[in-house]
Amino acid sequence: MSTLPQVNTKPDKPRKITVQAFFARGGTLSRAHPNYEYRHGQLEMARAVESAIAEHKHLLVEAGTGTGKTLAYLVPSILSGKRVVISTGTKNLQEQLYFKDLPFLQSLFAQPLSVCYMKGRANYLCRQKVYDAERDPVLSGLDEIGDFQLIYDWEQKTEAGDRSELRWLAENNTWWAKLDARADLCAGKKCKQFDRCFITAMHRRAAESDIIIVNHHLFFADLAMRDQAFGSILPDYSAVIFDEAHEIEDVAGQYFGMSVSNTQIQELIKDTAAISRRKLFATPELDRTLIQLGDQTEQLFHLFPQEGRQGFREQESFLAEHGESYGELQLALEALCARLELTEGVLEDTLPLVRRARLIQEGLRFWMESGDASFVYWTERRGRGLYLQATPIDVSQALTARLIDRVDSVILTSATLTVADSFDYAQTRLGLQAARTLRVESQYDYAKQALLYVPQRLPDPRQPEFTASAAAEIERILHASRGRAFVLFTSYQQMRQIYQLLQPRLDHPLLLQGDAPRNALIEAFRETPGAVLFGTSSFWQGVDVQGEQLSCVIIDRLPFAVPSDPVVAARIEAIQHHGGNAFYEYQIPQAVLALKQGFGRLIRSTADRGILALLDNRITKLQYGRVFFDSLPAYRFTTKFDDVRDFFHV
């Protein structure tokens, strides 16, 4: 069980807390919270979560911004007496739950709360790697060697081994990967440090906890591995609650699919060579095996498309022409496994390497030979890496088999789950057609706080002249808003083009995605009066800037997914194959939820006010625009720039 950080709130602790007594007027929360405001929707959501867990039902809740949904699912989870996993979209929300919300709740409950906070393995130090590095240095350069002593001293004092304790460690640090606890080089129970391992300790804390806080990536990594002998992370649980649940389809698709890359094999070669020398089992025969594996990898991966992200359906003809190259790579991987398995006395070092090679073999075999029509197969070039990917076309089947049919209660909540007031899209895509649903309206008065502006004189965003016209319109809006804006784009290329056009024409401090880490850019925006931040998809969600510092959100176009993307194209084709209308059943709902997320950056408190500007007037001119309007909050709407000026009193 984890010890929660302490808070100073110490109200009278009632002998018995119920959901009703906690959230009601004059209840526990009203007496404890300095800024308490009764919210009927919060109580309604808490009751729905309470009954779903108690009655073993699944539930979807769209809770508008300002509902107080975090407490609305935490309190009934605590009171349920069952083990509940809380899965969030970001580590930031994880930290808010563990370091802020749960300590506050602990101050209101007489009994200690049994809570665990779990991250991916790469966030934790590997003790064995530290001891190996002390004897056989793996770090290079004065900075790495100098920092190692700090890490060595910290390893002897830390209880969790979590890199977040190292405040001086840069986010983009390169040498942490040489010492972290990721599974690639983990020997599991055969490791000498298994009983003292930080990962082992994390698992033990989880096994003793009633509330386990994870993020979506960790949750689905665990779900994908639960049926395997090695790698399961979470203990059994009765319920799971997904916050920021609109992200689930994409994240689940990553983990229910597979990926093999040339860089993955190159890392295996590099690690095998380094470990064999440190542990004294290197031989000329092993070196030749590694060289041959590298040559066969280069030969095979060079045969695939070398640019961009492309669908691939030609496995049969590819094997007919290049089957020998594929077979030679599989034989080279098998030869490596055989040599490592014959090595005596260093099983804890060779076992992870063999496991990695076997997984690569299986992945290659599935991608090249399975012919499973429920997956879309594609290739992607990222820097020097070429990735062979397979993604489920429909994740609902895997979710149903692995999660929905196995767990008593699956609860999804987000500010963006409905399209035109309906949960049909989310229920269908996620296999939750029989789930209960609840919509909780936001506490904000959008008609007074926000103005939605759609200029009519801009060309269609698909036309080449749109970029220059959009830049001129953005300049005009930013002049009226005095900066204080997010300018959000659906493509990185469009962002760069418009930024370059506007940079010499604007006097406001400009921040551009890619110039600094995301968190650093957000912090700089908060602290810089009149700043303007240019960003793409990563800034459409999970960003909370309250107050007049963010008074305007500008979006360049309706955020339709690129139809030529191999995963999107396969899902469109599957819907059409079954007689559906992919545009209305998939493409429009996906774009609606993305637009709601982007607009959701603006109004984050009852005191916020500002302009939402959408430069894509297809929303007013084409029939499908009505679906977007029916899905958005009741913003005041205008097509006149004079109303924008009046709003800002320019």
In this predicted model, what pLDDT tens digit does every residue of 116-173 receive, in sequence order?
989 888 889 999 888 888 776 665 655 666 677 788 889 999 988 988 888 777 666 6
> β-pairing, 59-63 with 409-414?
parallel
Residue 198 tokens, joined: 């930080």
Q: Give the DSSP letter of residue 192.
A: T
CATH of 446-647, one of 3.40.50.300, 3.30.200.20, 3.90.950.10, 3.40.50.720: 3.40.50.300
Read off the pLDDT of residues 238-259 as tens digits, 9 standing for 90 and up.
999 999 999 999 999 999 999 9
In Å, how far from its chain's centre is CA 615? 28
Q: Please say if the pLDDT value at position 360 is more than 90.
A: yes
Q: Please say if the pLDDT value at position 66 is more than 60.
A: yes
- Distance in angstroms (rounded) separating the CA atoms of residues 64 and 621: 28
Least confident segment among 54-58, 226-230, 363-367: 226-230
User: Which residue, 59, 73, 57, is CA-closest to 19?
Assistant: 73
Determine the Cα angle at 121 with ends 115 and 122, to 5°: 125
Record: fold of 258-390: Fumarase C; Chain B, domain 1 (1.10.275)
- Provide the pLDDT for residue 172: 65
pLDDT category at 20 given cuts 50, 70, 90 is very high
Helix axes 466-481, 492-502, angle to 10 degrees: 60
Edge-to-edge, what's the strand order for the sheet holding 115-117? Answer: 115-117, 211-215, 84-88, 239-243, 409-414, 59-63, 436-440
* Alpha-carbon distances, residue 500 vs 471, 511, 556 (angstroms): 10, 12, 15
Least confident segment among 133-137, 400-404, 486-490, 546-550: 133-137
- Provide the pLDDT for residue 465: 95
Predicted TM-score (pTM) of the model is: 0.89
Alpha-helical regions (H) of 462-562 = 466-481, 492-502, 518-527
Bigger pLDDT: 34 or 332? 332
Q: Give the DSSP letter of residue 393.
A: S
pLDDT category at 36 given cuts 50, 70, 90 is confident
Tell me the longest C-alpha to C-alpha distance in the chain.
80
Q: Give the DSSP letter of residue 431.
A: T
Per-domain residue ranges of the chain? 125-180, 258-390, 446-647
- Provide the pLDDT for residue 146: 66
- Run of H or E residues at 25: none
- Distance in angstroms (rounded) separating the CA atoms of residues 212 and 241: 10
Q: Are 115 and 210 in contact (CB under 8 A)?
A: yes
Bigger pLDDT: 543 or 375? 375
Those residues whose C-beta lies under 8 Å from the C-beta of residue 331, and which sit 6 or more positions away, are 296
Q: Give the DSSP letter of residue 180.
A: B
Q: Are 33 and 105 in contact (CB under 8 A)?
A: no
Q: Fold match between 258-390 and 446-647?
A: no
Q: Which residues pair with 613 in a beta bridge?
A: 453, 554
pLDDT category at 347 given cuts 50, 70, 90 is confident
Q: Per-residue pLDDT averaged across 563-576, rounded? A: 95
Residue 258 tokens, joined: 């597979």
Q: Please say if the pLDDT value at position 271 is more than 70.
A: yes
Give the rounded percent of residues in the chain with a pLDDT score beyond 70. Answer: 94
Q: Is 59 helix (H, G, I), strand (E, B) or coil?
A: strand
Q: Per-residue pLDDT averaged across 376-401, rounded? A: 95
Q: Per-residue pLDDT averaged across 646-650, rounded? A: 83
Least confident segment among 160-174, 192-206, 275-289: 160-174
Q: Per-residue pLDDT averaged across 394-410, rounded? A: 95
- Provide the pLDDT for residue 77: 97
- Distance in angstroms (rounded) separating the CA atoms of residues 272 and 484: 52
Read off the pLDDT of residues 79-92 as tens digits, 9 standing for 90 and up.
999 999 999 998 87
Read off the pLDDT of residues 488-522 as tens digits, 9 standing for 90 and up.
999 999 999 999 999 999 999 999 998 888 888 99
User: Which residue, 504, 508, 470, is CA-closest to 489?
Assistant: 470
User: Which residue, 379, 371, 283, 299, is CA-closest to 331?
Assistant: 299
